[in-house]
Chains A and B, each alone.
Chain A
Amino acid sequence: MAIDVRLDHVLLDRKMTLTELSDRVGITLANLSILKTGKARAIRLSTLDAICRELDCQPGELLIHVPDESRHPRSSPR
């Protein structure tokens, strides 16, 4: 997927652990872990709202669109 989740960056910046965030937003640690590791297929707006409220951040800081070519740059032909 071309969407990178930068939750670990924001948590590090806010000096908060995933467990603390889980307790504050009321989302299970397992689900937050799915989000953090990039395995999530979708995120509800209510979840995004809760995380941004607790971390005092914008959705754009959490979710970055990375075009596929930037993820897997083509090797130049020899």
Chain B
Amino acid sequence: MRHNRAFAITAWIALAAAAVTTLAALAVATTAVSVLSGRTELPHRISLIPGTDLLDLTYQPSWEVAAYIDVCPRIDLDVDPSELDCEYVQFHDLEEHMGGHVETPGDVRAVGVSFEGRMYFDAGPGWNPLIASLYGMTVLSLLIAAFLLAQLWLLLRAASQGDPFTDRVVRRLRIIGATLIAWEVAEPILWLFLSPKAWDYGLTTMSDVHGLELGSMEPGMELTPIAFGILLLLLAEVFKRGVRLEHEQRLTV
């Protein structure tokens, strides 16, 4: 049947994705053990198939950083901008403003600029708690993703082998939904103990980049995965009803 074939094809795709994700987790874990035990330097490229360039993973421990700058309401070219607490940023239409005192247009003006990016780390070989935390959370995230993909594979395989309204499908939906919610709640809590700030690292800049700060946790609790997890739990209840209807149908002669 066409829908069974569709389930079977997507099941194979989910299985392949789970396998690659598991492989990536093992590669990162192996690299972490090698770096933290002092055997190798911190690599920036991990080969999933050693000795080849076929499946290379670019990974470097990093952390979220952000900066916010206040925009000066008025640009005064006679004043040295380094003496101010704000930055000269002019948001204007295409009309040029030349020389002397420059007023920013009154209709729409910039009041602040927010930057988000990542700070990449390098460290010497040997034990370092921050590098170990970053590697550990990466491996854990990859293993959770692999687990979810494996559950998706089992769900699609069960659906492809017969009617999708079975107890096995209901169970897989509940597992995936609950895991998504649990991980989204647990991850920020783990970062409270494993972030650079938790290991007493800070940031000082002596450059043109003012106000740069380390993120407190990464990536922070997001509502989208939690909402998706709740949606899957609700879908499981719908499928549960389908299981009951299927059972009734099977016992209708």
Contact = CB atoms under 8 A, between A and B. Distances in A.
Nearest to B251: A41
A12 interface: no
Interface stretch (A13-21, A29-37, A53-61, A68-76): A29-37
A40 interface: yes
Interface of A: 27, 31-32, 34-35, 39-44, 47
B98 interface: no
B83 interface: no
B248, B252, B253: most-surrounded residue (chain A CB, <10 A): B253
Nearest to A48: B253
Interface of B: 248, 251-253
Contacts of B251: 34, 39-42
A69 B252 CA distance: 26
A41 B251 CA distance: 5
B81 to A, nearest CB: 81
A40 B250 CA distance: 9
A18 to B, nearest CB: 13
Contacts of A43: 252-253
Contacts of A41: 248, 251-252
B74 to A, nearest CB: 80
20 contacts: A27-B253, A31-B253, A32-B253, A34-B251, A34-B253, A39-B251, A40-B251, A40-B252, A40-B253, A41-B248, A41-B251, A41-B252, A42-B251, A42-B252, A42-B253, A43-B252, A43-B253, A44-B252, A44-B253, A47-B253
